[in-house]
Amino acid sequence: MKDGLGRNINYLRISVTDRCNLRCRYCMPEEGIVKRAHSNILTLEEIFEVVNVCAGLGTDKIRITGGEPLVRKGLASLIERIATLKGIKDLAITTNGSLLKGYARELKEAGLYRINISLDTMNEKKYEYVTRGGRLKDVLEGIHEALKVGLVPIKINTVLAKDFNEDEIGSFIRLTESLGIDVRFIELMPIGHASGFASEHYLPNSAVLERFKELEPMETADKSSPAMYYKLPGAKGRVGLINPISRNFCSSCNRLRLTADGKLKPCLHSDLEIDVKGILRGLKAGDKQMALEKAVAEAIQAKPEHHTLNDLYNKPIERDMYTIGG
């Protein structure tokens, strides 16, 4: 379905839980994390109903995210159902990778197409620091297991942070030389109550190109991809730059987001939300279908032309990133 600006909105990102086994400093505030009651979180059946409606309106690309999606019980069964929906061309997951070793095979067998793993440092101590307690070893084992069961292609998402991991840019880039994986650097965004980390550590992705002049730009087949891709000569994988701040990609935005508590978000950086939980729980089958279609259409038409992160007096959104999913 097209929005008022002619953008084709064919991509739904679903946060299946707002719970996470890590506490990344740029994503979760240190204090004040309110655990939503299970009754306030959409059931897997309810999530599927929304996906089904979106698929009927032209969504062909789905990403499962969190919180940490792998802590959601029954996730593989949801993936299995979505994978068999008519018209779905891409079904991926974004995970912190720490539980992946135990789930990679199940996800592959359920029909998951591919996986993005978030990893900001390859130093054990720094990993423990930025995730407030995570173990690097778990993620590395998860990556190996994903490769082993053929859950490929793998993309590694690395949030670039000044005075934290800028000294590791080279190590991440070199991963693409021998392993057939893409490494994508993401600019830190000020979001929710953890926005202070982004204000303090923001580093534009241009730093990657300034420091690694041997990276060669590549043509990207997918014009709606937020990443601009580069390659080291002879490397197996690519290096991607996702620059929401320094070079926003709003004009080609094709996304809608569904939060675990049942809100459609037309834009990551806006507080505007459209409720679907009330529709899912308050209406009978026939009326529900129509009301859901109306809500999805309304969310698509409500997409702003662009975000306002670079405006001088911009205030970060209220909702924290771990309850949206990226």
CB-wise, 3 or 226, nearer to ligand SAM?
226
State the Cα–Cα distance between residues 307 and 288, nearest whole angstrom: 31
HSE at residue 70, side-chain half, CA atoms within 13 A, is: 24
Length of the chain: 326
Please say whether the beta carbons of 80 and 111 come within 8 A: yes
State the Cα–Cα distance between residues 75 and 16, nearest whole angstrom: 8
From the list ligand SAM, ligand SF4, none, partner contacted by residue 23 (C-beta under 5 to 8 A by kind): ligand SF4
In the structure encoding, which two tokens stand for residue 100, read together?
């992946």
Task: Find the angle CA(11)-CA(316)-CA(41) to the nearest 5 degrees.
Answer: 55
> Would you count residue 70 as binding ligand SF4 (CB under 6 A)?
no
> Would you count residue 195 as binding ligand SF4 (CB under 6 A)?
no
Residue 298: count other Cβ atoms within 10 Å of its Cβ.
12
Stretch near ligand SAM under the rule CB under 6 A, chosen from 20-28, 199-207, 221-229, 256-264: 20-28
> Would you count residue 295 as binding ligand SAM (CB under 6 A)?
no
State the Cα–Cα distance between residues 92 and 76, nearest whole angstrom: 12
> Would you count residue 66 as binding ligand SF4 (CB under 6 A)?
yes
> Would you count residue 203 as binding ligand SAM (CB under 6 A)?
no
The CB-nearest residue to ligand SAM is 326
Stretch near ligand SF4 under the rule CB under 6 A, chosen from 18-26, 109-117, 279-287, 308-316: 18-26
Please say whether the beta carbons of 216 and 223 come within 8 A: no
State the Cα–Cα distance between residues 71 and 66, nearest whole angstrom: 9
Please classify residue 118 by burial: count the beta carbons closer than 10 Å to its beta carbon, then call 0-12 exposed, 13-18 middle and 19+ buried. buried
From the list ligand SAM, ligand SF4, none, partner contacted by residue 248 (C-beta under 5 to 8 A by kind): none
Stretch near ligand SF4 under the rule CB under 6 A, chosen from 24-32, 33-41, 149-157, 246-254: 24-32
Restricting to residues 127-186, which ones interact with ligand SAM according to CB under 6 A?
157, 159, 186
State the Cα–Cα distance between residues 167 and 163, nearest whole angstrom: 8
Restricting to residues 73-132, which ones interact with ligand SF4 according to CB under 6 A?
96, 118
For residue 33, give every residue at least 6 positions away whose Cβ sits within 8 Å of its Cβ, in sequence order, or none: none
For residue 15, give every residue at least 6 positions away whose Cβ sits within 8 Å of its Cβ, in sequence order, or none: 65, 66, 67, 257, 258, 259, 260, 323, 324, 325
- Shortest approach of ligand SF4 to residue 94 CB, angstroms? 8
CB-wise, 27 or 64, nearer to ligand SF4?
27
- Shortest approach of ligand SAM to residue 222 CB, angstroms? 19
Number of residues that bind ligand SF4 (CB under 6 A): 13
CB-wise, 70 or 253, nearer to ligand SF4?
70
| Closest among 194, 188, 138 to 164, alpha carbons compared | 188
Residue where the block lists tokens 């990993």: 127
> Would you count residue 322 as binding ligand SF4 (CB under 6 A)?
yes
CB-wise, 113 or 322, nearer to ligand SF4?
322
Stretch near ligand SF4 under the rule CB under 6 A, chosen from 19-27, 184-192, 207-215, 289-297: 19-27
- Shortest approach of ligand SF4 to residue 228 CB, angstroms? 22
Give the binding site for ligand SF4 (CB under 6 A).
20, 22-24, 27-28, 66-68, 96, 118, 321-322
